[in-house]
Each structure stands twice: as structure tokens, then as C-alpha cells.
Amino acid sequence: DVTIVEFLDRALPNEDADVSKEIEKQYKKLGVTIKTGAAVQSIDDDGSKVTVSIKNNKSGDIETVVVDKVMQSVGFAPRVEGYGLEKTGVQLDRGAIGITDTMQTSVPHIYAIGDVTMKLQLAHVAEAQGVVAAETIAGVETLPIEDYRMMPRATFCQPQVASFGLTEQQAKDEGYDVKVATFPFTANGKAHGLGDPTGCVKLIADKKYGELLGGHLIGPDVSELLPELTLAQKWDLTVNELARNVHTHPTLSEALQEAIHGLAGHMINF
């Protein structure tokens, strides 16, 4: 048996709410218990078993769970001490190294990339930052990273979760008149061929201008589907322009095609 304890009110709280609902549904099918709105109070390992006390954030009730192993995953912290950074005069921003959109620190000849900047703690983001820093140092044209929310993100659970941009709620909170289209993998032939027709593709766009605001995917190998969406967003393709892109059949990417056509107002096969 597996029990997941999440302090906030839903699983994967940084993802779109519909993705959270789907992952909770799929994990329930697997027999995984997810306790949301809860906090671990104590962990007691006697060598043969581990006793965990869990507090419900709303009621204050304490529940005890006895397990074989405990795995803790509580986020990242930047490593900014122990290698002489304090001697350089580089300024910190809430414990991380402050940078511009070209990775320059407060000391003009010092650049920083990766987890020490606490922008988005992902390897591919650090790589992208490194490219921008190198191009800036070399004095060649570069593309500054202005909005880290538009970076692709993936959670390699089962089923996979992948996303970029704004959630539906975030887009509404920012004042967008949103249009949403969702296409399920139960209607995708390749997903059935793989024996894993779970999850969906959910896309969010600005209704007025057709701008792609975010994509939220859960299902088989969905992390492989993000680059098409992030490229379209990066170069300001509208939904109607993106809908003209032809996708190979049968592929998982057809789920993207269908959701994009849904935003444009005319799904083809659903």
C-alpha cells in the first residue's frame, strides 16, 4: 500500500485543477491513498516499521499510519553558500541569486544559471539559461527568458503529466476571456494501441486574439508532446494558424491536433 500526504488541497497543486482530478482518479484505481490538506507531524522509525502521524489541516484530527518506508519530497533550496559567493558582492533575492533575463547578476561580469536562481528548478531550464548566458557573454544575439511560466514542465509519474503556461484559473484571474478545449486519449487510436488510453489534452487560449495561453496534458508519454505547443506560443502563432499543422496518423500527437481544432471551433473526430 502507498499513501501520499499533500499539504495543499489537491494532488499536484501547481497543475491545472482538471489534471489534479485525473491523477487522483488514476491513483485511486491503483490503490494509492492520497491525503490532501494534511501535514506530517512526526515520523518514528523503530528499525522494523515506520509510524507516521498525519494531521488534517482543517479538523486538526491526527491519524497514524504504519508503513515500511517513508520518502520525503519537500522541494528545493538554492546552494549559495560554501564556495565564496559572499566575497563577490553578488546580491541574493530571497535566498537565491538574483539575475536579469539574460542571466546577469548584480556584478556585471558574473552570470548565474540553474537551481541557484530558483526560477524553475528543472534541468532543461538550466540548459536554456546557459545558452542565453553564453550568447550574452559572447556578444551575439540572444532570446532573453522573460516568462518562466511558459517553460515546459513534466512530472514522470504514471500516467505522465506535462504542462506549460497558465492554468485555466490563472488565465481567468489575469483577466483573459478564455476558451478551453479538452480531448481525451480514449478517442486516440495510438493510445489504444499502446494499451494506455488514459488522460487528456487540455488547451487554453485567449478568445479575442487566439493566443495560446497554456497546455495541460496527462496520459501516455505526454512529455514528448509539449515542444509543438511551446514553440507555437514562443512565436505567437494563433490557434487558427496552429490548426493548419498536419499530424501523422496514428500518433499521440493527434490528440493535440484535436484539442487545437477544438479551440478553433471544429474538432475533427470527437
- Measuring CA to CA, which residue among 228, 218, 227, 223 is closest to residue 184? 218
Phi-psi region of 8 (alpha: psi -120 to 50; beta: other; left: phi over 0): beta
**Cα 231–Cα 232–Cα 233 angle in degrees, nearest 5:** 90
Residue 155 to residue 176: CA distance in whole angstroms: 27
Give CA 228 to chain center in angstroms.
Answer: 16
Residue with cell 514542465: 153
Q: Which of 192, 216, 249, 261 is catalytic?
A: 249
Residue 237 to residue 235: CA distance in whole angstroms: 6
| Grid coordinates belonging to 168 | 485555466
Q: Is 266 a catalytic residue?
A: no
Residue 5 to residue 3: CA distance in whole angstroms: 7
Residue 88 to residue 110: CA distance in whole angstroms: 9
Q: Using CA atoms in the order 130, 134, 136, 137, what is the torsion angle rounded to 10 degrees?
A: 130
Are the CB atoms for 157 and 170 separated by under 8 Å?
A: no
- Measuring CA to CA, which residue among 1, 2, 21 is closest to residue 10? 21
* Kind plus residue range of the DSSP H or E element containing 133: helix 123-138
Residue 38 to residue 3: CA distance in whole angstroms: 12
Residue 4 to residue 140: CA distance in whole angstroms: 48
Which sequence positions are flagged as catalytic? 249
